Amino acid sequence: MTGFGYGEFGAWYDSYRSDVLEPTLEVAMEALEHQLVEQLTDRDVARLRSIGGRVKSKRRTWRKLRQPRYRDQINSVDDIPAVIDDLVGLRVTCTNLRDLDMVQVALDGLPKQPSPKRPLSIDESSERDYVESPKESGYRGWHVNLRLMLESTSVTCELQVRTLLQDSWGELTHEDSYSKAGELPPLVEILSKRMADLLATLDDIAEDLRSELDRIDEAAVDGADDQPDESQVDERDLSAIEADAAELLADRWHTLDRPTELSSLAWELQKEFGAEVSDDWFGHHSFKRFLRLALPAAELSTGRHVYLLPPTEPETVPAVESAAVAPEVEAPREAAELRRVDRTFPVIGTEQWVRIYEQLAEAWRRLGTRTPSTRTINELTRSARDRAAATGEPLSRRHLDHVAKVIVSSSDAGEPLDSVAIAEAFATATLQRLVDLRVIAQSSTKRKRAIREWLGASHASHSGQTKA
């Protein structure tokens, strides 16, 4: 960096900040918040603790430019925006580790290139996962670059997503202040890493606690008795508060335009009437039982996750929701409809589906027979992701995780499945889910064939037979 000094840089920075960086921050913050609110349920949005942002100061930008790794890349002030990707920084702080995945899934719906209609895009190649691979300092968090189209200029913003505890570590250690070229004093380094490890352990405990609370909530929502006893219902009238809760559910049901998980509806009642209502759900012992009594005409889906179905079957996928799917992916309309219900469902190309099956099959072959469990899913996903990255064609961990959960749950014995069996199991489960959610009819042979084709089941079968 020999082409300019601090004086020239300062004049450029002041002008660029007011003309580009500050407007970018304002628009990017609004677009990010809109994306998260649109893609997440009210319950999930409540788990986001804060959405913030900043423009990198003049002095800190100058410090960064002088670091050895940037010196050879910047010859004039005009090179700075293309090299320094965090002049605009965005940060989302959430509650648990699982919420990081939730935010990542919500961002999947962003386009890969910005446009006037959708000015915010995501650069997936820029992802840095410091949760699974922490920095030497102990820092943990998930980073990715977003691009914003500001009039005709594309501006890069760095997004950091952290849990409350990960964010607390940064605040307590002043990590940003110490991110300099020289080494930290040994004691500071040791204490920082020790605290980072302790907070990471607390994050794991908090995640286990949340999983157990979710399990308890799900048990209270589902209950052991699915069908109400009509003779008992007739013995007494609903109390005033029960009637009010039933009316709220009825209003909610009549406005549904997509299947909605019972756990989400139960959360809405708890938010309105207090968490204590989940103790016995107005004396009916489970939310599902109370729901059936409050909405006798409503229909619930079958399957592992129970959804309340809309009063009438939607004819088409609304255009506004279809836009949440990356436009460059050719997918059946049913895929967009399922994505509206389950934000974790991948809407990707057939080639990617096939590669996911192949990498998971190879990972499972290497791991051998395993008891179906969350740990098995994590090991499969991690191994498949690492192998895919080694080939130069990385696969999304979230996509691998989605498929792994389906196939592991369908393999009671835990025996490894080849890519053909994985493709078949996943396609069968997905089609059944689409039927359960009334997205397609059981008799829709033509649509089922098209979806199987998109999911790569036919291709995987053909490839497996060819290799055999």
Average pLDDT value for the chain: 85
b vs e for 336-364, b when ≥16 Cβ sit within 10 Å of the residue's Cβ?
bbbbbbebebbbbbbebbbbbbbbbbbbb
Q: How far is CA 229 from the centre of its chain?
A: 39
Predicted confidence at residue 32, as pLDDT, reads: 95
- 255-269 average pLDDT score: 88
Closest CA to 425 of 409, 444, 437: 409
Question: Which range, 19-23, 327-331, 394-398, has the best average confidence (pLDDT)?
Answer: 19-23
Predicted confidence at residue 340, as pLDDT, reads: 83
pLDDT band per the 50, 70, 90 thresholds, residue 341 = confident
Tokens found for residue 371: 């008891």
The answer to whether residue 118 scores a pLDDT higher than 70 is: yes
The answer to whether residue 144 scores a pLDDT higher than 90 is: yes
Residues 215, 179 contacting (CB under 8 angstroms): no
Predicted confidence at residue 178, as pLDDT, reads: 55
Report how many helices (DSSP H) and strands (DSSP E) the chain contains, helices first.
Answer: 21, 7
CA distance 56 to 250: 50
Q: Does domain 6-199 have CATH number 3.40.50.720?
A: no
Tokens found for residue 168: 């607390």
* Domain-wise residue ranges, the chain: 6-199, 230-308, 319-467
Tokens found for residue 221: 């929502």
Predicted confidence at residue 91, as pLDDT, reads: 96
Query: Among 43-47, 235-239, 393-397, which is the least confidently predicted range?
Result: 235-239
Residue-wise pLDDT tens digits, 264-323: 899 889 889 888 888 888 888 889 989 999 999 999 988 777 899 998 754 443 433 443
Query: Among 101-105, 196-200, 348-352, 462-466, which is the least confidently predicted range?
Result: 462-466
In the three-class reduction of DSSP (H, G, I as helix; E, B as strand; rest coil), residue 274 is classed as coil
C-alpha distance from residue 119 to each of 38, 150, 303 (Å): 15, 7, 38
The answer to whether residue 455 scores a pLDDT higher than 50 is: yes
